[in-house]
Amino acid sequence: MKKNVYLSLVLLFYCLYSNSQMISNTNYSVDNINKKNQFGVEIGGGGTGSFTIDLGVHYIHNYTPYFAWDVIAIKASAIPDNFSKSLFPSALTGVRLTSPQSPFGLTGYLTGRIGYDYNFELDGGGLCFELGAGVNITKNIYIGYSYTHLKSSYDIEKSKTTYTHKNGKSVSKKVNYSESIDSKMNYHALRIGFYF
């Protein structure tokens, strides 16, 4: 299934690239950015050891054609086979850098985001960050790679039984305690995004 998803994303990239070259005046150009504020949607698929998908929306404020602030990005990633136990929603903020236009009419981009993630199953969350790079195929469509690191801390309740010996008799006592656990997840994904 992973191979089919990767192959589909690669084919989609080539189709979009070919289409952007065939239609005149639709190539992405940093000179065409006239919107100060934009919304975006991202869809990705990749791996954390298991096939994982992610979906996100974000609000962007463009300061220049080359620099933008990713004001807020709300995302969620999950393993489809174990959706409820692997759901990690996150809220991030960061920056987006765009390159000058290439001779092929395309621009590149770099992103960096930092924020907070949460796991409902474990009832805990922590710091997360994301790094990405890719190509703006048209003014409204981009495709690229992203690396996301999610770290969660949570407490779990445990109990143990202790035994003591008094007057030749063994006495048991149940003791409840909590233990703090850190969880980390590294996520590599191919991602396609759309600007509005």
| CATH code at position 79 | 2.40.160.20
Give residue 130's domain range.
2-195
The whole-model pTM stands at: 0.70
Specify the DSSP class assigned to residue 39. Answer: E
Token readout for 73 is: 């990005």
Per-residue pLDDT for the chain (196 aa), expressed as one digit of tens each? 556 555 555 555 555 454 444 444 444 444 445 588 999 999 999 987 888 899 999 999 999 999 999 999 999 988 888 887 778 899 999 999 999 988 888 899 999 999 998 887 777 788 999 999 999 998 899 999 999 988 777 666 777 777 777 776 777 777 776 777 777 778 899 999 999 8
Q: Cβ neighbours of residue 161 under 8 Å, at least 6 residues apart?
A: 172, 173, 174, 175
Specify the DSSP class assigned to residue 153. Answer: E
Specify the DSSP class assigned to residue 83. Answer: H
Total of domains in the chain: 1
